[in-house]
Amino acid sequence: MRMPRLLAALGLAAAACGAQGAQTPPLRVVTLTTVLSEIAREVGGSHVSVVGLVQPGVDPHTFNPSPADIRAVADAEVVLASGLSLEAYLDRLVAGSGSSGRVVAVGDALPEAVAMAGVPGAGERDPHWWHSLDCMLIATDIVRAEFAKARPAAAADFSANAEAYQARLRGLKAWAAAEIGRLPPNRRHLVTSHDAFGYFARDYGFEVHAISGLSTDSEADARHLAGLIDLIRRERIPAVFAEDSANPRLVENLVRETGVRLGATLYADGLGPPGSGAETYDSMYRHNVRAIVDALSAR
């Protein structure tokens, strides 16, 4: 007699699950960077619908929301921003949309000890936290907690999804440390278009020499460029790097002036477009690490 009763109980439980699933529409999430879109989809699974406003290859520093973007924010229950002043338009966007959704600036919610410690320029709030895998691990937890608050019934699923994603991030972290370990410390100089790799540099012992500042819309002056040319010659830096969503003109200038090698284009401000081979966080990060190690280990 035990079996049928157990089966009946299981049947009831399944029916309850199904009924609840039908009653609860997916959590409406809007994200403002491609990396956050991935975290939201990985953690949320079938319990969320994610609309990413900033498309791959679009510069998030100078992004300008369209009327359709404003409507998406108006309709969102959770808005995920990178924070740390990356989205200069954020307050305007939220106010203009009249949204009553919860706005989470993930970078601002990272603990200072992990997010900022040892990052050059952190006093100016370097927003490029996703280049640190330690920050990514915590950002995943921040998103998980927000989703669990909004849909408590799905909290266990969010936890399981977050743990699976974090396990992959830890695997990536071990791979990156081994890969960069091949590069002698005196070769760890990153000359890039803008100052996007401070977190990466902190984690792996690089020095960053950016042409422009923390935002892509800051312009470099002639004296700064002359200083970079001197540095490349003095330190015998073998390669410099252009970036996916920044103008390569000044980097190409450095290449012409110094004869330095141009490394593969880095993804500084988000994931790559479909077909780029950098459309997921994992592939973007591996691309950057390989590009940097390959170009800087060349003789």
Nearest distance from residue 16's CB to Zn ion, in Å? Answer: 47
Nearest distance from residue 240's CB to Zn ion, in Å? Answer: 17
Q: Considering the complex, state which of residue 82 and residue 99 has its C-beta at the smaller distance from Zn ion.
A: 82
CB proximity list for 90: less than 8 A, separation 6 or greater? 32, 81, 103, 105
Q: Considering the complex, state which of residue 150 and residue 196 has its C-beta at the smaller distance from Zn ion.
A: 196
Pair 298, 292: CB distance under 8 Å: no
CB proximity list for 194: less than 8 A, separation 6 or greater? 210, 211, 212, 213, 214, 215, 216, 218, 243, 246, 268
Q: Considering the complex, state which of residue 69 and residue 243 has its C-beta at the smaller distance from Zn ion.
A: 243
| Residues in contact with Zn ion by the rule CB under 5 A | 196, 269
Pair 28, 52: CB distance under 8 Å: no
Question: What span, in angstroms and rounded, lies between the C-alpha atoms of 268 and 206?
Answer: 15
Please name which of 262, 264, 296, 265 lies closest in space to residue 183, comparing C-alpha atoms.
296
Nearest distance from residue 196's CB to Zn ion, in Å? Answer: 4
Q: Considering the complex, state which of residue 151 and residue 202 has its C-beta at the smaller distance from Zn ion.
A: 202
Strands 189-192 and 102-105: unpaired
CB proximity list for 93: less than 8 A, separation 6 or greater? 65, 69, 70, 73, 87
Structure tokens at 236: 């015998």
Structure tokens at 186: 């005196």
Nearest distance from residue 193's CB to Zn ion, in Å? Answer: 9
Nearest distance from residue 197's CB to Zn ion, in Å? Answer: 9
Q: Considering the complex, state which of residue 82 and residue 97 has its C-beta at the smaller distance from Zn ion.
A: 82
Q: Considering the complex, state which of residue 76 and residue 115 has its C-beta at the smaller distance from Zn ion.
A: 115
Q: Considering the complex, state which of residue 130 and residue 158 has its C-beta at the smaller distance from Zn ion.
A: 130
Nearest distance from residue 216's CB to Zn ion, in Å? Answer: 6
Give helix 281-297 / helix 34-44 axis angle, nearest 10°.
130
- Rg over CA atoms, the chain: 22
Nearest distance from residue 243's CB to Zn ion, in Å? Answer: 8
